[in-house]
């Protein structure tokens, strides 16, 4: 299996105005198996293995908590918009149904 994790979190590269709405883009490597697919060679069911929760923190406060299922595609891309109120870290954490988790972050600069 390809290496999982390696999250990427990207936001504006230049400072943004206070109060502006910014877009954050994220990507993580994950197989996102639903538990419904079968191995073509053996006919056995491939066990469920998917991201089950995505959480976003900004300035140390949780601003998004999303529950995911196996219905999300492999190597999921997730984008969201948020209001820039002050300079500081934006951290995204992905957790899967097997207890593993990964985090990525960037520093948002507000002028």
- Residues 42-100: pLDDT tens digits? 999 999 999 999 999 999 999 999 999 989 999 999 999 999 999 999 999 999 999 99
pLDDT-derived band of residue 2, with 50, 70 and 90 as boundaries? Answer: low
Above 70 in pLDDT, residue 33? Answer: yes
| 55 within 8 A of 62, measured Cβ to Cβ | yes
Query: Is 33 buried (19+), middle (13-18) or exposed (0-12) by CB count in 10 A?
Result: middle
Specify whether the CB–CB gap between 59 and 86 falls below 8 A: yes
Rounded to whole angstroms, how far apart are CA atoms 90 and 108?
7
β-partners of residue 67 are 53
User: Which homologous superfamily does the CATH classification assign to the domain defined by 5-108?
Assistant: Immunoglobulins (2.60.40.10)
Instruction: Check if the beta carbon of residue 1 is closer than 8 Å to that of residue 31.
Output: yes
**Average pLDDT rounded to a whole number, residues 26-42:** 96
The per-residue pLDDT for 52 is 97
How far apart (Å, rounded) are the C-alpha atoms in residues 66 and 83? Answer: 18
Band the pLDDT of 5: cuts 50, 70, 90: confident
């Amino acid at each position: 299996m390809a290496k999982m994790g390696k999250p990427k979190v990207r936001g504006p590269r230049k400072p943004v105005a206070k109060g502006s709405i910014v877009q954050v883009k994220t990507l993580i490597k994950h197989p996102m198996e639903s538990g419904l697919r079968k191995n073509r060679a053996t006919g056995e069911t491939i066990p469920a293995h998917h991201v089950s929760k995505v959480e976003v923190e900004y300035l140390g406060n949780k601003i998004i908590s999303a529950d995911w299922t196996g219905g999300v595609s492999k190597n999921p891309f997730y984008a969201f918009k948020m209001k820039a109120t002050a300079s500081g870290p934006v951290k995204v954490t992905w957790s899967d149904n097997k207890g593993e988790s990964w985090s990525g972050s960037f520093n948002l600069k507000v002028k």
